[in-house]
């Protein structure tokens, strides 16, 4: 008791000085990270199989959540985590019937350009129509596109851009501006070599996700990344570690230097009850092994939100807190929770209508 009291009396003035001394704690920045994933060409809130409106899906709905989430904060970034081109009749119509005419932009990338995505990742389904199609379509994307674990066969180097380091001016809690170097890296399941053998064999090879992350994180740090965000088109599984694993999100949380993990591929919601039994997982705060993780469902049904708190000390930035949540576009009964982004709808309505007309013509 005596010892505690003595320590208390001696230590107290020093502690309060340390907290108040501005040179010790230079800046605190709140940074919001937004995720869409596995859109599978669901641009419109429409079910092409049943020819009717479906308010549970569609980027025209998620877009409204994106604008709301951006308006709530000073600093935000928007990412797509892949599987955005294929998976519904609109995607099929564009790839197999209409094609991408010279100088024209695929409506998915037209939508991404309009919403000003900062970086997008490639998912496994982007490769389903062959490398020529994805390379042609990507010419219309006005933001960096990343994937680090698909390699060229001939030269041992990444097929896509493995990562980018974004320079972004952010505003701290005092209103002061800082330039942050934000590293963003992308991954997809190495199983693409089985799933898309005919398209990929002899052209590319896929490397394991976790090993690739461990290779690039130190490189990105050496190139000046203050923080690193993983656009991981992979699910979350606690199955024992295996280098070739399809769903490696859990093991990415254990890599020092990665500060936030955007997952997807398995179309689940994280944080959410299906992950209740995952070890070292905090569903209240959206963390696995203390790292913020998010998975925003599929088809635009939810927006993923990660909120980071960054602290600068002697010119070095550190994430001191990271939490996540998802926000749905509709309630459990399919009633809309947000309005349609009409400007976005107008940008893509031609292709939507062409798809509807094509299905009608087929008599489906
Ligand atoms: Zn998917």
Q: Cα(249) to centroid of ligand 1, in Å? A: 15
Q: Cα(353) to centroid of ligand 1, in Å? A: 24
Closest CA to 87 of 145, 37, 17, 53: 37
Any domain includes 21: no
Q: How far is CA 106 from the centre of its chain?
A: 20
Q: Cα(189) to centroid of ligand 1, in Å? A: 11
Q: Cα(339) to centroid of ligand 1, in Å? A: 25
Q: Cα(206) to centroid of ligand 1, in Å? A: 18
Q: Cα(236) to centroid of ligand 1, in Å? A: 13
Any domain includes 307: yes
Query: 185 near 216, Cβ under 8 Å?
Result: yes
- Residue 112 CA: distances (Å) to CA of 39, 131, 349, 351: 11, 20, 15, 15
Q: Cα(274) to centroid of ligand 1, in Å? A: 17
Any domain includes 137: yes
Closest CA to 348 of 74, 83, 91: 91
Q: Cα(331) to centroid of ligand 1, in Å? A: 22
pLDDT score, position 5: 39
Count of the separate structural domains present in the chain: 1
pLDDT score, position 364: 64
What sign results for the dihedral spanned by CA atoms 348, 351, 357, 358? negative
Q: Cα(314) to centroid of ligand 1, in Å? A: 42
Q: Cα(55) to centroid of ligand 1, in Å? A: 19
Q: Cα(268) to centroid of ligand 1, in Å? A: 10
Domain that holds residue 255: 32-362
How far is it, in rounded angstroms, from Cα 274 to Cα 94? 34
Q: Which residue is listed with tokens 């990270």?
A: 33
Helix (H, G, I), strand (E, B) or coil at 152: strand
Any domain includes 8: no
Residues with CB under 5 A from ligand 1 (ion): 38, 83
Any domain includes 23: no
Q: Cα(155) to centroid of ligand 1, in Å? A: 29
pLDDT score, position 362: 87
pLDDT score, position 182: 98
Task: Report the CATH number at residue 122.
Answer: 3.60.21.10
Beta bridge partners of 47: 52
How far is it, in rounded angstroms, from Cα 314 to Cα 226? 13
pLDDT score, position 66: 98
Encoding tokens for residue 352?
A: 């939507």
Q: Cα(39) to centroid of ligand 1, in Å? A: 7
User: pLDDT per position in the chain (364 positions), as tens?
Assistant: 334 433 343 444 444 444 444 455 589 999 999 999 999 999 999 999 999 999 999 999 999 999 999 999 999 999 999 999 999 999 999 999 999 888 899 999 999 999 999 999 999 999 999 999 999 999 999 999 999 999 999 998 999 999 999 999 999 999 999 999 999 999 999 999 999 999 999 999 999 999 999 999 999 999 999 999 999 999 999 999 999 999 999 999 999 999 999 999 999 999 999 999 999 999 999 999 999 999 999 999 999 999 999 999 988 999 999 999 999 999 999 999 999 999 999 999 999 999 999 999 988 6
Q: Cα(83) to centroid of ligand 1, in Å? A: 5
Q: Cα(275) to centroid of ligand 1, in Å? A: 18
Any domain includes 3: no
Q: Cα(21) to centroid of ligand 1, in Å? A: 49
Any domain includes 10: no
Q: How many helices (H) and strands (E) does the chain have?
A: 10, 18
pLDDT score, position 102: 84
Any domain includes 324: yes
């Amino acid at each position: 008791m005596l010892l505690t009291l003595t320590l208390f009396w001696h230590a107290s003035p020093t502690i309060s000085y340390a907290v108040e001394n501005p040179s010790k704690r230079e800046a605190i920045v709140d940074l919001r990270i937004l995720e869409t994933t596995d859109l599978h060409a669901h641009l419109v809130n429409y079910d092409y199989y049943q020819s009717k409106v479906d308010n549970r899906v569609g980027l025209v709905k998620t877009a409204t959540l994106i604008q709301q989430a951006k308006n709530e904060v000073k600093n935000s970034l928007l990412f797509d985590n892949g599987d955005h081109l294929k998976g519904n009749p609109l995607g099929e119509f564009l790839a197999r019937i209409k094609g991408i005419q010279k100088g024209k932009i695929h409506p998915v990338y037209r939508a991404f350009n309009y919403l000003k995505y900062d970086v997008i990742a490639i998912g496994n389904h982007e490769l389903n129509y062959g490398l020529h199609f994805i390379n042609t379509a990507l010419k219309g994307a006005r933001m960096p596109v990343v994937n680090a674990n698909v390699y060229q066969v001939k030269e041992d180097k990444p097929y896509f851009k493995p990562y980018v380091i974004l320079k972004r001016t952010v505003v701290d809690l005092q209103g002061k501006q800082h330039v942050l170097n934000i590293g963003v890296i992308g991954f997809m399941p190495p199983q693409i070599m089985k799933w898309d053998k005919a398209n990929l064999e002899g052209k590319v090879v896929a490397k394991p996700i976790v090993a690739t992350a461990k290779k690039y994180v130190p490189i990105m740090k050496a190139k000046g990344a203050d923080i690193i965000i993983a656009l991981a088109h992979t699910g979350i599984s606690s199955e024992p570690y295996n280098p070739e694993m399809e769903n490696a999100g859990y093991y990415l949380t254990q890599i020092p230097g990665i500060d936030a993990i955007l997952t997807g591929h398995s179309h689940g919601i994280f944080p959410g009850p299906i992950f209740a039994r995952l070890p070292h997982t905090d569903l209240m705060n959206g963390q696995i092994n203390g790292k913020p993780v998010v998975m925003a469902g599929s088809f635009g049904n939810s927006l993923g939100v990660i909120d980071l708190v960054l602290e600068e000390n002697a010119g070095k930035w550190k994430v001191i807190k990271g939490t996540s949540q998802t926000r749905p576009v509709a309630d459990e009964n399919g009633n809309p929770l947000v309005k349609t982004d009409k400007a976005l709808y107008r940008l893509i309505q031609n292709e939507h209508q062409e798809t509807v007309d094509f299905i009608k013509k087929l008599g489906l």
